[in-house]
Amino acid sequence: MATIRDVARHAGVAISTVSLALNGTGPVSAETRARILEAVAAVNYSPNLMAQNLKRGQSKLIGLVLGDLGNPFFGRLLRTVDRKISQADHMLIVADTDSDPDREIRTLNQLKRQRVAGIIMAPLRNDKEFVAYLNAMDIPVVLIDQDVEGARLDFVSSDHQLAAGMLTDYLLRLGHGRRIAYLGGIPGFWTAQQRLIGFRAAMARAGLDVDPELEVVADYSAEKAYDQVSRLMSRPVRPTAFLAANNFMAIGALQAVNDLGFRCPEDVSIAGIDGVPWGSVIKPRITTAEQPIEELAGLAASWMLEHVQGEVMAGAANRRHIALPRLVIGQSCAPPAASHPR
């Protein structure tokens, strides 16, 4: 493998001159620089970027920490962030924390030891200890999707209250009233809190009390949603509609309805937040409130690059961007059947 010494020998210059030319850190004439670049190509020299980063105290590596790469939302987010970061000649290190808060902390510490230039993350925690941890970070951090109240960091997300509210309003316009069952996310997650607030607010605007027995937790899990829907659909007085706080739970709800022999939407309606995987082939196509994932991911990556490239002044105010979700009407919702028990 060629070394910087081979380049210097081939170009007829000192090793220090090669270093200055390749790093762009010193005065090197255009003629000498061209000769050095020709020598680099001739000997097939590849600089040790890790060693260079250690010397400079900076890195071309950017971390992306997500809770569940199996979720299509995060898969699409990853593709957009990676494309944006690689176009700027940086490289992404991706970590899946498997929705484990302890693993999240270990991952962040590992990334810091790798001297990444910055971290984009969808955090799991929002407690005071985690706020203090984030505020003590000595590298740029951009939060996406999940907010951490009190963290002095840039934040990009969708209006989760609006997403849940618009789906609730849609089901109410169809006539479902108090028989809407809500499948909630993981307690303590910011997105789960915001979506629950949006559901309750829409019901209150309609002058309806929420039936506490129809407001259940399913932890953003298809399996738990399946179990909750199976239980609720076995009651003498069944829900006429299910609103799932994420895409996985919407799929779990649909599977439970089908397995129990009910028809969607003739017997029960289903709606959910976020696009459904393979939504075009799932029948019926589920009505959703979709987040503009590419917009969110692209902005988070752009803000991170501004940080690592020195375009953000020290002490600058934290930036927040809340994008609007989009209601996508499928075939999974209909007015409740006239014979449905109320």
- Residues 78, 101: one domain? yes
Given this model, what pLDDT does residue 54 score? 46
Given this model, what pLDDT does residue 315 score? 75
Assigned domain for 328 exists: no
- Residues 180, 202: one domain? yes
Given this model, what pLDDT does residue 277 score? 66
Q: What pTM value is reported for the model?
A: 0.82
Assigned domain for 337 exists: no
pLDDT classification of 20: cutoffs 50, 70, 90: confident
pLDDT classification of 53: cutoffs 50, 70, 90: low
- Residues 166, 236: one domain? yes
- Residues 169, 82: one domain? no
- Residues 146, 247: one domain? no
- Residues 90, 239: one domain? no
**Residues with Cβ < 8 Å from 281, sequence gap 6 or more?**
none
Sign of CA dihedral 334, 340, 341, 342: positive
Flag whether pLDDT at 332 surpasses 80.
yes
Rg (CA), the chain: 26
- Residues 138, 169: one domain? no
Q: By residue range, what is the domain housing residue 10?
A: 4-47
Question: What mean pLDDT do residues 323-332 have?
Answer: 96
Tens of pLDDT, residue by residue over 144-201, are 999 999 999 999 999 999 999 999 999 999 999 999 999 999 998 999 999 999 999 9
Assigned domain for 52 exists: no
Assigned domain for 71 exists: yes
Assigned domain for 284 exists: yes
- Residues 176, 250: one domain? yes
Assigned domain for 332 exists: no
- Residues 149, 182: one domain? no
- Identify the domain boundary among 291, 313, 333: 291
Quick one: CA torsion of 247, 252, 258, 264, rounded to 10 degrees? -30
- Residues 261, 240: one domain? yes
Domain count, the chain: 3
Q: Which of 282, 287, 321 has its CA nearest to residue 303?
A: 321
- Residues 74, 111: one domain? yes
Given this model, what pLDDT does residue 157 score? 97
Which CATH number belongs to the domain containing residue 26 in this structure? 1.10.260.40
Assigned domain for 228 exists: yes
pLDDT classification of 140: cutoffs 50, 70, 90: very high
Flag whether pLDDT at 50 surpasses 80.
no
- Residues 17, 74: one domain? no
For 41-194, strand residue ranges (E) read 61-66, 91-96, 118-121, 141-144, 154-158, 180-184
Which CATH number belongs to the domain containing residue 315 in this structure? 3.40.50.2300
Average of per-residue pLDDT values in the chain = 90
pLDDT classification of 260: cutoffs 50, 70, 90: very high
